[in-house]
Amino acid sequence: MTRVIGKRIPRIDGAVKVTGEAKYTVDIQLPGMLCAKILRSPLPHAKIIRIDTSKAEKMPGVKAVITGKDAWDVRHGFVETPRYPADQYVLANERVRYLGEEVAAVAAVDEDTALAALDAVDVTYEELPAVFDLFDAMKPDAPEVHPIEIPDIDRPYKNIGGMCANSFGDVERAFRNAYLVRKDRFESQLRTHCYLEPQATLAHYDSTGTLHVWTSSMGTFRKRMHLARTLKMPENRVHVHKSFVGGAFGGKIDLFSHEFCTSLLSIKTGRPVRFVAERDEIFSYYRHSQPMVLDLETAVDRQGRLLGQRARCYNSCGAYRGSGVVFIFLSWGFLVLPYRVPAVDYAGYAVYTNNPVRAPQRGHGAPKVRFAVESQIDMIAEELGIDPIELRLRNARRKGEVLPNGDSIRNAGLVECIEEAARVSDFQRKYSRNARGRKEKSPVKRGIGMGVSSYFTGTLIYPNSSAAVVLLNDDGSIQLLTGALDIGQGAETVLCQIVAEELGVKMQDIRVVAADTETTPVDIGSWISGLTYVTGNAVKKAAQEAKRLLLLSAAKELEVGPEDLELRDRRVYVKETDRSISFAHAITRHIRENDGDPIIGRGSFRGLKEAAIGPSLKNAKGTWSDSYAFDAQVAEVEVDTRTGKVSVVRALTSHDCGFPLNPLLVEGQIDGQVSMAAGQATTEEVLMKSGVTLNPSFLDYKVPLAADMVENGYIDIITEQYEGEGRFITKEVGEGYVSGMLAAVTNAIANAVGFRARKLPVDMAGKTDR
Amino acid sequence: MKGDKVKSSRKREAAGRLIRLIVNGEEHVVIAEDRNTLLDVLRSKLFLTGTKEGCGTGECGACTVLVDGKPVLACLMLAINASGKKITTIEGLAVDGKLSPLQQAFVEFGAVQCGFCSPGMILSATALLYENRSPTRKEIQKALEGNLCRCTGYNKIVEAIESVRRGVS
């Protein structure tokens, strides 16, 4: 039985957040702080002929102006490998490739002066032809965004920033023997994160030669690596401090030009420099989610069993690769994860265009791939006259199956997820009733739909691993030192629970010191869905080590063996007796007997122990993740046939996330993902024309409001089994549940009105069904 | 860009005037330029950074404060127009270190994730409960329509407010 783990424990930083005490990057002010602003390219594609900063530099109040010339030719990228070397300068160098690309930065005494200085920077451009549409960019005569050749491109496409190709099984035979083949194109729009805290960075280079940085991010150690490399400084001189993070959802993981510029401006001036992005700057020029066009061909037998799939994934990654080449690799994985497919032929292309760079967003490919696959599954079910739930069950992967890349699905509750989601939502009855309702008079139609997804639990990408330290003070109080950055998901709370469980103490007995690159050990970060698994296990090992030392010391004092002892309420008890000593007593004895050594537990963890590196981005070969989470989600919608308005009324998420360490936080993750998916399915889209963003505000980019709230249900599958196996068998829970929901919504719309959406967001005015 | 609007007004810095604000029960006299918003003054002059700026254009609700008990977007109100008025920010809700029932409920129900919307959200909810001691779920959702939250889907926020509603009635 667990005491703390698995319990609905409120987050430990709740009080500082509801009182306004929590300091986000935008809240931190230092004496003598300068204001930084960034000059952006007004053209989508141009040569920079000349930049004259002399007028700006002479302006009173302007302390520094930097351009690409000051940025020592350093490039950076989300991926930096021999196949995909870094392709972006931190400040544009000779050429700009999208409207809004950073050309110069200034630091001045106040915002007005900084803005006036931007106006005074004189840039001469020579405009070049630009290309914005994905398929236009692939044509042989398209304007060239980068002079880059990927050696194994299978056709004479242009502007290919990356390609991932993989096939297995006899695809030709699968299609030859098929009872039914469906071929459809699915398009997922350009959508964005809408983190509420703007992008912001405060940098202070002090006289010891140390750069202090506060930046709104998803992991301080990844930012430190990027900043150290681009600034050519050793990592121990780049101190990234913890600040609270006002949401990220994938949008704050890359290195951003403003982070480099703010740092370099501080190095040049010796003064603290702060940059805060305006909201319309974020909408227009920052990194949104990767858009996708997926051509999906599926062959099934008469019973609807998948025989083979051909998939072509096209991604407009923008003017630089960003995460595009990872996105097309992941998309392969999300295609083959939840269902058994004996033969697949996949190719994904990340295509350069003269648009802003794209980034991961919650799910990073999964929502878009699953939207396509799950929509098509329903279409196949309808054509074959098979119940859509039954069709999913026939194809669902089961415990012990091996993925095409060799990863074993050691435990998978997918079948249970689908069955329970259908049973609890009364799916089949509602599905038939709604279909009959289409013929009735009422203008508001109801629909129910399901989507299935799976997501990985961390993989190998820098920093790859986490370490942690548990410090016992001589009064018996405890500190956990972890590099984990809580971005709202509750990382600090969960890690604190793990220490409390191991040491038999209260949450309040532990002080969590987190995310400071100078005082805490390296951490994988709040992304790639690996934090609770990787850092959680590092913390567990650190706590166990501290416990071991504590028990050794207490055992001497109590004159029993360590195995006869147990911990509770900051005391060490001889089991089944009242004999005990306090933590303080045992710790003090340990210090005395060990040459002053206090009790320090160290732990570290790295997933994929057999693998030297992560999977290949070129051909998707190689192990990917230690475990996979699964889910089946049901959406119930109302469609007003007079206006085309779709309301997502209710959702049910049936999921296998391993053992949920804190169900309250797990539910919070599901709520957020369901809401995000409902928005992405029905209203959200960044509209662009010729590189210009047409709707750069919350008024024109509609995220769900409180009135759009979806009533949520949750079913946690096979929890007890994981508890039996060991309570820290956790899987990811922060990203995968956007994915099933998207198709659940579009399938529900099809159930309500017979309209089959092949494009997101659903536009009922553009009916294209059949 | 928001900055564009203020660019030409730099030479008018002398146009600052003394204003008196009663913030969380304390009187403050500050010099404010005519163009300064209440948000600018709270955050940059009084260092009350609990009030957040998410957009600066009145769309996200993160800067919601109470002015004479009514919810107001501090980024759209000029500081000079707040002169003499009673302003409540998130820093003013807890009494003697004890969280208000709404603050407490937000923590307990998991209504807080990243927390950036929480101050504005809690103040909008506080204003709602002043007006209406037992709002329905729909009324709660309506009252929060001006406060964006991207983390929670609003579910636990609404539950937290409902728990306080029940406590009150």
Mean per-residue pLDDT for A238-243?
A: 98
Across chain A, what does the average pLDDT equal?
95
Give the Cα separation of A265 and B118 in Å (integer): 33
* Yes or no, beta carbons of B89 and A20 under 8 Å apart: yes
CATH label of the domain that carries residue A357: 3.30.365.10
Instruction: Give the pairing of strands A580-582 and A571-574.
Output: antiparallel
Distance of CA A520 to the CA centre of its chain: 23
Is A770 a residue whose pLDDT tops 60?
no
Residue A764 has a pLDDT of 83
Task: Count the domains in chain A.
Answer: 3
Quick one: A599 and A619 in the same domain?
Answer: no
Residue A411 has a pLDDT of 79
* Residue A618: other Cβ atoms inside 10 A: 19
Best CA proximity match to A684, nearest among B112, B137, B148: B148
Quick one: A748 and A706 in the same domain?
Answer: yes
Quick one: A87 and A102 in the same domain?
Answer: yes
Query: Which chain B residues have a beta carbon less than 8 Å from that of A667?
Result: 110, 155-156
Quick one: A97 and A206 in the same domain?
Answer: yes
Instruction: Find the closest chain B residue to A248 by CA distance.
Output: B114
Query: Which chain A residues have a beta carbon less than 8 Å from that of B114?
Result: 195-197, 244-248, 487-488
pLDDT top residue among A613 and A149: A613
Express each pLDDT in A251-296 by its tens digit: 999 999 999 999 999 999 999 999 999 999 999 999 999 999 999 9
- Residue A75, classified by CB atoms within 10 Å of its CB into exposed (0-12), middle (13-18) or buried (19+), is middle
Give the Cα separation of A433 and A217 in Å (integer): 47
* Yes or no, beta carbons of B156 and A667 under 8 Å apart: yes
**β-sheet with B86-88: strand ranges across:** B26-32, B17-23, B86-88, B64-67, B70-73
Residue B2 has a pLDDT of 41
Q: What are the catalytic residues of A?
A: 735
Distance of CA B86 to the CA centre of its chain: 13
- Which candidate from A18, A674, A698 shows the least CB-CB separation from B148? A698
Q: Calculate Rg over the CA atoms of chain A.
A: 27
Mean per-residue pLDDT for B77-102?
A: 97
Out of A231, A260, A285, a domain closes at A285
Which residue bears the tokens 């919810």?
A: B71
Q: Kindly report the nearest CA distance between residue B81 and chain A, in angstroms.
A: 23
Instruction: Give the pairing of strands A478-482 and A510-514.
Output: parallel
Does residue A190 form part of some domain?
no
Quick one: A502 and A570 in the same domain?
Answer: yes
What's the CATH fold of domain B15-92? Ubiquitin-like (UB roll) (3.10.20)
Query: Which chain B residues have a beta carbon less than 8 Å from that of A671?
Result: 152-156
Quick one: A446 and A475 in the same domain?
Answer: no
Instruction: Find the closest chain A residue to B11 by CA distance.
Output: A112
Instruction: Tell me how many degrees the CA angle A765-A768-A770 measures, rounded to the nearest 5.
Output: 145
* Yes or no, beta carbons of B116 and A13 under 8 Å apart: no
Out of A285, A302, A337, a domain closes at A285
Do the beta carbons of residue A47 and residue A125 sit within 8 Å? yes
Best CA proximity match to B47, nearest among A18, A15, A31, A279: A31
* Yes or no, beta carbons of A706 and B10 under 8 Å apart: no
Interface predicted TM-score (ipTM) over 0.90 = yes
* Yes or no, beta carbons of A24 and B90 under 8 Å apart: no
Mean per-residue pLDDT for A430-455?
A: 96
Mean per-residue pLDDT for A151-173?
A: 91
* Tokens found for residue B104: 């407490």
* Yes or no, beta carbons of A706 and B154 under 8 Å apart: yes
Q: Kindly report the nearest CA distance between residue A494 and chain B, in angstroms.
A: 13
Give the Cα separation of B61 and B71 in Å (integer): 10
Instruction: Find the closest chain A residue to B1 by CA distance.
Output: A280
The Cα-based distances of B150 to A672, A698, A704, B100, B123 in angstroms read: 7, 12, 8, 24, 18
- Residue A406, classified by CB atoms within 10 Å of its CB into exposed (0-12), middle (13-18) or buried (19+), is exposed
Residue A767 has a pLDDT of 57
Residue A728 has a pLDDT of 63
- Listed by number, the residues of chain B in 134-163 with a beta carbon closer than 8 Å to a beta carbon of chain A are 140-145, 147-158
Does residue A6 form part of some domain?
no
Residue A264 has a pLDDT of 98
Quick one: A510 and A540 in the same domain?
Answer: yes
- Which candidate from B50, B114, B153 shows the least CB-CB separation from A19? B50
* Yes or no, beta carbons of A672 and B115 under 8 Å apart: no
CA dihedral (A264, A268, A272, A276) positive or negative: negative
- Which candidate from A668, A703, A706 shows the least CB-CB separation from B150? A703
Mean per-residue pLDDT for B142-159?
A: 98
Query: Which chain B residues have a beta carbon less than 8 Å from that of A668?
Result: 110, 113, 151-152, 156
Give the Cα separation of A319 and A133 in Å (integer): 12
- Does B53 reach chain A within 8 Å, measured CB to CB? yes
Confidence of residue A720 (pLDDT cuts 50, 70, 90): low
Query: Which of the 8 DSSP states describes residue A709?
Result: P
Quick one: A219 and A313 in the same domain?
Answer: no
Is B1 a residue whose pLDDT tops 70?
no
- Which candidate from A196, A490, A667 shows the least CB-CB separation from B150? A196
Q: What is the signed CA dihedral for B47, B50, B53, B58, rounded to 10 degrees? A: -110
Give the Cα separation of A677 and A81 in Å (integer): 33
Does residue A5 form part of some domain?
no
Is B61 a residue whose pLDDT tops 80?
yes
Residue B14 has a pLDDT of 53
Express each pLDDT in A326-367 by its tens digit: 999 999 999 999 999 999 999 999 999 999 999 999 999 999
Maximum CA extent, chain A? 85
Confidence of residue A151 (pLDDT cuts 50, 70, 90): confident
Mean per-residue pLDDT for A718-736?
A: 75
Is B10 a residue whose pLDDT tops 70?
no
* Yes or no, beta carbons of A706 and B119 under 8 Å apart: no
Query: Which chain B residues have a beta carbon less than 8 Å from that of A194?
Result: 148, 150
- Which candidate from B60, B93, B153 shows the least CB-CB separation from A196? B60
* Yes or no, beta carbons of B145 and A707 under 8 Å apart: yes
Best CA proximity match to A367, nearest among A396, A331, A409: A331
CATH label of the domain that carries residue A85: 3.90.1170.50
Query: Which chain A residues have a beta carbon less than 8 Å from that of B141?
Result: 706-707, 709
Confidence of residue A42 (pLDDT cuts 50, 70, 90): very high
Express each pLDDT in A529-549 by its tens digit: 999 999 999 999 999 999 999
Q: Kindly report the nearest CA distance between residue A598 and chain B, in angstroms.
A: 34
Instruction: Find the closest chain B residue to A197 by CA distance.
Output: B54
Residue A765 has a pLDDT of 75
- Which candidate from B2, B57, B144 shows the least CB-CB separation from A706? B144
Out of A554, A572, A606, a domain closes at A606
Distance of CA A602 to the CA centre of its chain: 28
Quick one: A452 and A476 in the same domain?
Answer: no
Residue B9 has a pLDDT of 44
Is B13 a residue whose pLDDT tops 70?
no
Best CA proximity match to A455, nearest among A506, A417, A482: A417
Residue B95, strand partner residues:
B98
- Which candidate from B6, B9, B155 shows the least CB-CB separation from A671? B155
What does pTM read for this prediction?
0.96
* Yes or no, beta carbons of A487 and B114 under 8 Å apart: yes
Is B8 a residue whose pLDDT tops 50?
no
SS3 of A159, please? coil
Query: Which chain A residues have a beta carbon less than 8 Å from that of B118?
Result: 17-18
CATH architecture type of domain B101-168: Orthogonal Bundle (1.10)
Q: Kindly report the nearest CA distance between residue A632 and chain B, in angstroms.
A: 19
- Does B103 reach chain A within 8 Å, measured CB to CB? yes
- Which candidate from B1, B7, B10 shows the least CB-CB separation from A278? B1
CB pairs under 8 A between A and B: 196
Residue A105, strand partner residues:
A38, A66
Confidence of residue B12 (pLDDT cuts 50, 70, 90): very low
Express each pLDDT in A48-106 by its tens digit: 999 999 999 999 999 999 999 999 888 999 999 999 999 999 999 999 999 999 999 99
Give the Cα separation of A286 and A172 in Å (integer): 43
Confidence of residue B6 (pLDDT cuts 50, 70, 90): very low
Choose the weakest-confidence range: A12-16, A575-579, A595-599, A612-616.
A612-616
> Which residues fall within 8 angstroms of residue A476, CB to CB, at 6 or more apart?
A509, A570, A582, A583, A584, A587
Express each pLDDT in A630-661 by its tens digit: 999 999 999 999 989 999 999 999 999 988 99
Instruction: Tell me how many degrees the CA angle A472-A474-A478 measures, rounded to the nearest 5.
Output: 30
Long-range pairs, A229-238, Cβ under 8 A, ≥24: A229/A74, A229/A76, A230/A71, A230/A74, A230/A76, A230/A90, A230/A255, A230/A260, A231/A260, A231/A263, A231/A264, A231/A267, A232/A72, A232/A74, A235/A517, A237/A209, A237/A210, A237/A211, A238/A210, A238/A211, A238/A213, A238/A517
Confidence of residue A727 (pLDDT cuts 50, 70, 90): low
Confidence of residue A156 (pLDDT cuts 50, 70, 90): confident
* Yes or no, beta carbons of A706 and B147 under 8 Å apart: yes
* Yes or no, beta carbons of A278 and B52 under 8 Å apart: no
Q: Kindly report the nearest CA distance between residue A651 and chain B, in angstroms.
A: 12
Mean per-residue pLDDT for B118-147?
A: 97
* Yes or no, beta carbons of B53 and A280 under 8 Å apart: no
Give the Cα separation of A719 and A727 in Å (integer): 10
SS (H, E, C) A622-660: CCCCCCEEEEEEEEEEEEECCCCCEEEEEEEEEEECECC
Would you say how long chain A is, in residues?
770
Q: Kindly report the nearest CA distance between residue A537 and chain B, in angstroms.
A: 23
Is A768 a residue whose pLDDT tops 70?
no
Quick one: A483 and A430 in the same domain?
Answer: no
* Yes or no, beta carbons of A709 and B153 under 8 Å apart: yes
Is B15 a residue whose pLDDT tops 90?
no
Can you give the residue range of the structural domain that contains A97? 25-128+195-248+252-285
SS (H, E, C) A429-440: HHHHHHHHHCCC
Q: Kindly report the nearest CA distance between residue A738 and chain B, in angstroms.
A: 12
Would you say how long chain B is, in residues?
169
Domain locations in chain B as residue ranges: 15-92, 101-168
Give the Cα separation of A330 and A326 in Å (integer): 6
* Yes or no, beta carbons of A697 and B59 under 8 Å apart: yes
Confidence of residue A149 (pLDDT cuts 50, 70, 90): confident
Quick one: A93 and A232 in the same domain?
Answer: yes
Query: Which chain A residues have a beta carbon less than 8 Å from that of B14?
Result: none
Does residue A9 form part of some domain?
no
* Tokens found for residue A496: 């604190």
Distance of CA A147 to the CA centre of its chain: 30
- Listed by number, the residues of chain B in 5-44 with a beta carbon closer than 8 Å to a beta carbon of chain A are 6-7, 9-10, 43-44
* Yes or no, beta carbons of A18 and B99 under 8 Å apart: yes
- Which candidate from B57, B103, B149 shows the least CB-CB separation from A18? B103
Quick one: A453 and A465 in the same domain?
Answer: no
Is A726 a residue whose pLDDT tops 70?
no
> Which residues fall within 8 angstroms of residue A120, CB to CB, at 6 or more apart?
A55, A56, A59
Mean per-residue pLDDT for A29-38?
A: 97
Give the Cα separation of A65 and A106 in Å (integer): 4
